[in-house]
Copies of this chain bind each other. A is one copy, B any other.
Amino acid sequence: MARYSKQDFPLDNVRRHLEPGPIVLVSSAWKSETNIMTMGWHMMLGFTPARFACYIWDANHSFEMLRRSRECVINVPEVALLETVIGIGNCSGRDGDKFARFGLRADPAEKVKAPLIRECYANFECRLADSKLIRSEGVFIWEVVKAHVARSPKAPKTVHYRGDGEFMVAGSTVKRRALFKPQNL
């Protein structure tokens, strides 16, 4: 398993890690309990503040923990963690602690009570920014309040779910900075 050396990451660049659409692990804490869920339905909503939205099915054990605590950490795994990512999606927090079950280490966050997953290359501490869509749409709108990202790799091998048990793994990097109007980067 990769060991990451993480550093503070500028909040207005969070899109670099979430906009490509990776599968993420959402960690949460409520009362004495922590939990982790696998999630693929999310999108950026703004740069400054760094806001993004995600859809969470209300049958998930995490749903009420997130709604009540109004906090989470979005953790981004690489492909080396794929079996764990699937395993986390296969079981419920009702059946026991997933950190222990999957041998993941919970590092303390700075601004929220939900833990950082050490084995993920990036961790984004989030506070609920808007709750009005939770009941009607299952949509949570978050503000990222603290970001931790590994110094390397520069091109993380994220996994992107295609459904039916199939993942796309992040491939080559293409740089086209010179083609952009500066305000559109």
CB < 8 Å: which of B161, B168, B178 contacts A155?
B168
A83 to B141, CA, bound (A): 32
Given B130, B170, B178, which contacts A165 in the complex, CB threshold below 8 Å?
Answer: B178
Question: Which B residue sits closest to A164, measured CB to CB?
Answer: B185
Task: Categorize the interface residue count of chain A.
Answer: 35 or more
Instruction: Let me know if A20 is at the binding interface, CB within 8 A.
Output: yes
Contacts of A17 in B (CB 8 A): 162
Stretch at the interface among A42-50, A67-75, A95-103, A118-126: A42-50
Interchain nearest-CB distance for A37 vs B (Å): 11
The answer to whether A93 has its CB under 8 Å from any CB of chain B is: no
Quick check: is A7 within 8 A (CB to CB) of the other chain? no
**Considering the chains assembled together, what is the distance between the CA atoms of A63 and B139 in angstroms?**
22
With contact pairs A43-B43, A171-B172, A184-B90 given, residues A165 and B179 touching in the complex (Cβ less than 8 Å) = yes
CA–CA, A184 and B92, complex, Å: 12
Task: Verify if A181 is at the interface (C-beta below 8 Å from B).
Answer: yes
Instruction: Judge if A6 is at the interface, Cβ distance under 8 Å.
Output: no
- Report yes or no: A165 in contact with B180, Cβ–Cβ below 8 A: yes
Interface residues of A in 70-117 (CB under 8 A from B): 79, 82-83, 86-87, 89-90
- Asked if A177 CB lies within 8 Å of chain B CBs, one says yes
Q: Taking A42-B43, A159-B174, A170-B171 as given, write out 10 further A-B residue pairs in contact, using a Cβ cutoff of 8 Å, ordered by the A residue number.
A: A16-B163, A16-B164, A44-B55, A45-B139, A83-B179, A130-B137, A164-B185, A165-B178, A166-B173, A168-B170
List the interface of chain A (C-beta within 8 A of B): 13, 15-17, 19-22, 40-45, 53-55, 79, 82-83, 86-87, 89-90, 130, 133, 137-139, 141, 155, 157-181, 184-185
